[in-house]
Chain A
Amino acid sequence: MTAREEMLAALRRSAPRETPLPDLSRLGVKFADPAEQFAQSLAGVGGTCLRVPDLAGAARAIAELPAYPTARRIASLVPGVGQGNVDLATVKEPRELEGLDLAVLRGELAVAENGAVWVDARLLPHRAVFVITEHLVLVVDAAAVVNDMHEAYARLADRPVGYGLFISGPSKTADIEQALVIGAQGARSCTVVLVG
């Protein structure tokens, strides 16, 4: 028997009597103003939420970010938002992205309960871009704010499955004496722009 067959057989032999899957339909939390709650949750994890009426407003908001004036290498995957000068399509190796100052990416969903944004990373020319960049901006449709993770996964159920992730605020660590330090290994700042 192969290791695979042997492991499956052992798990079958050991299996307890089957118990049913619980009903998840009554779980969840509802907020009076999910967008406001999202902004609060994001602030709580060290990020910043900006609200703008349209993409032109998003472009202006990004130009005013503290990190923007000194950013030399910028990659934007949101047309018209952020003056991108790094064309990700021409980058061959993700290692070449080291030294990227700012990345502007689309977020598909924003979760009010925890400040997380779902990034559909299938669409990224390089997976590393969201983590290797010094500063990260996520542009999300204001209509795409959901209350909690249950709603988030319910929305994702209609979309193709692929590589993707929730990002909640900037990279952080508290591994040295429980002191919170922002900017551990990934982005040093995370700004979410809610559009609309």
Chain B
Amino acid sequence: MSPTEQAAPALDHAAAAARFVANDAKAHWHDQALWWVRKKRDAASGVVPDWEALRDAAAGIKAHTLSRLAEYLEEFARNAEARGAQVHFARDAAEHNAIVHRILEERGITRLVKSKSMLTEECHLNPYLEARGITVTDTDLGERIVQLRHEPPSHIVLPAIHIKKEEIGELFHAELGTEKGASDPKYLTEAARQHLRQKFLEAGAGLTGVNFAIAETGGVVVCTNEGNADMGSTLPRVHIACMGVEKLVPRRQDLAVFLRLLARSATGQPVTTYTTHFHGPRPDGELHIVVVDNGRSRQLADKVFRRSLSCIRCGACMNTCPVFRRSGGYSYGFIVPGPIGSILAPGRDASAHRTLPFASSLCGSCSDVCPVRIDLHHEIWAWREEIVRRGLLPWPKRAAMKVAGLVLRFAWLYRLTGWLARRLLPALPRGLAYGRWNAWGRQRELPPMPRRTFRELYRSHRDRS
């Protein structure tokens, strides 16, 4: 690791979050919008009597699948090919992008419609294809909005959660010719519907993500509410489905478990509007399935962090996270933000994303809502230890930890430090007490120094009784 890498993280979460909360009204609005989704999740899961048993089952199926992933992948590929699909294997993002481009190029296809796929975001497929003359249209409404703004999604399920309808109204006025000043969601959605219909009708190929891949049948399952994945996979002749290796489930019946959990956890719906099971191409068409590793087998080898591979991308951990809600998706600087992103990102590049494991209060709410029982806050904690072990902690924090470790090791030193602090801090001039070193004091006042220590209180209490 070069020193320059150490010096500059890709994005400092705290600094980026400070920029987000600078707009106080919008930050509060963002917080409330996500909390509303969290409450819908609570209502939807609360009426399912076997909810906790479902979470156990989902965690169990995922753990089992991960323990035999190679076998299931072979079974899946064999069955998918027997049904007429073409299965491609990509070790990394570059291979994935090259495969998709080759499929399009060989068929002379220049227009691609895409439905939501976090994997293609991870691989930066859009810029790769655009640089090679392919017109790529993201067709999920939220993704189309952020694409027109030349932004990445800020949330994996709600890509445009950070944007106000008035901003979308202005964007659509400029890009789609809607009336100036119009911001009614219904009106704007209708405009997008007409705009995207044309894109679907013109496209030479449709690309979708994959929510689940069934080893037993060789099928892939895609879940959407808008129907954009269905438009994109049924109108053009060529359908390309891109998936990470971790999307596998062994049997069709396992889907019942995940489908009962996914939409309820994501948006509070009992199930997505469309849950499409693709088994082979349409009679006159082609189905290409691109299976991607891109670091997943390495993560699978890691005892602590492999459980995060069970993630079904519902976004519940983001909606509930007090830090995510108040700092926004962009403050994470990684394609998957929030608690799960804080685990996946340092797994990709620990140095670049070393601030993310600290973007958490470790309250554990993420682990409580996770439908597949990933031990999110434990893994975030484990990443903090890992960041320290790899020497990636910035020096002020490292020095502070060293001092704290020393003070806590010796009782006499601890008492002495407390004694000094109680007397010196109130006497210091404000400029010194609230200097740059005092991160706590940036937004809040230090508490008044107590007259008596806990030890003194405890002793007098004991003597009384």
**Interface residues in chain A, defined as those with a beta carbon under 8 Å from any beta carbon in chain B:** 2-4, 6-22, 24, 26-29, 41, 44-45, 94-95, 98, 111, 113-116, 126-128, 130-132, 148-150, 152-154, 156-157, 161-179, 181, 183-187
Q: Does B274 lie within 8 Å of A167, measured CB to CB? A: yes
Q: Which of B261-307 contact A (CB under 8 A)?
A: 267, 269-280, 282, 291, 293, 297-298, 300-301, 303, 306
Q: Which residue of A is nearest B72, CB measured? A: A11
Whether a CB of chain A sits under 8 angstroms from the CB of B386 is no
Other than the known A11-B300, A149-B256, what 13 A-B pairs have Cβ atoms closer than 8 Å? A7-B91, A10-B293, A11-B69, A11-B293, A22-B56, A27-B50, A113-B270, A116-B270, A116-B275, A163-B282, A176-B189, A185-B193, A186-B230
In whole Å, how far is A141's beta carbon from the nearest beta carbon of chain B? 21
CB–CB A24/B253 < 8 A: yes
**Neighbouring A residues of B298 by C-beta, 8 Å:** 10, 14
What are 5 contact pairs spanning A and B, CB under 8 A? Answer: A24-B254, A24-B256, A150-B253, A167-B274, A168-B275
B70 touches A184 (CB 8 A): no
Residues in B whose Cβ lies below 8 Å from that of A127: 230, 233-234, 282
**Complexed CA–CA distance, A6 and B161 (Å):** 39
Which chain B residues in 156-204 approach chain A with CB under 8 Å? 158-161, 164-165, 168, 185-186, 188-190, 193, 196-197, 201
Q: Would you call B301 and A13 a contact (CB within 8 A)?
A: yes
Q: Tell which of B189, B231, B235, B271 touches A166, judged by Cβ atoms closer than 8 Å.
A: B271
Nearest CB on A from B69, distance (A): 5
The residues of A that contact B70 with a CB separation of less than 8 Å are: 8-9, 11-12, 15
- Contact digits for B217-241, partner A, Cβ 8 Å, 1 yes 0 no: 1010000011110110111000000
CB distance from A16 to the nearest CB of B (A): 5
Note all chain A residues with C-beta closer than 8 A to B219.
161
Q: How far is the CB of B36 from chain A (nearest CB, A)?
A: 6
Q: Are B57 and A27 in contact (CB under 8 A)?
A: yes
In the complex with contacts A11-B70, A153-B252, A161-B219, A126-B271 CB distance below 8 A = no
Tell me which residues across on chain A come within 8 A of B142, comparing CB atoms. 173, 175
| Contact, CB under 8 Å: B68 / A15 | yes
Q: Are A27 and B257 in contact (CB under 8 A)?
A: yes
Which residues of B, 245-259, contact A by the 8 Å Cβ criterion? 245, 250, 252-257, 259
- B201 and A98: CB pair below 8 A? yes
- Complex CA gap A170/B444 in Å reads 49
> How far does the Cβ of B33 sit from chain A's closest Cβ, in whole Å?
6
- Give the chain B neighbours of A166 by CB distance below 8 A: 259, 271, 274-275
A173 touches which of B33, B225, B250 (Cβ 8 Å):
B225
The B contact surface, by secondary structure, is helix
Expressed in whole angstroms, the Cα–Cα distance for A132 and B306 within the complex equals: 41
Closest CB in chain A relative to B203 CB, distance in Å = 10
Q: Assuming A7-B91, A21-B60, A161-B219, is B168 touching A176 (CB within 8 A)?
A: yes
A149 and B260 form a contact (CB under 8 A) = yes
Contact B297 A175 (CB under 8 A): no
List chain B residues, Cβ under 8 A from A111.
271
Most A CB within 10 A of own CB, among B141, B276, B280:
B276
Chain B residue with Cβ nearest A172: B225
Is residue B66 contacting chain A, with contact meaning CB distance below 8 A? Answer: yes
Nearest A residue to B277, CB-CB: A164
Which residue of A has the minimal Cβ distance to B145? A175
Is B140's beta carbon under 8 Å from chain A? Answer: yes
Q: Say yes or no for B53: interface residue by CB 8 A criterion.
A: yes
Q: Does B90 contact A (CB under 8 A)?
A: yes
Which chain A residues lie closer than 8 Å to B196 at the CB level?
Answer: 185
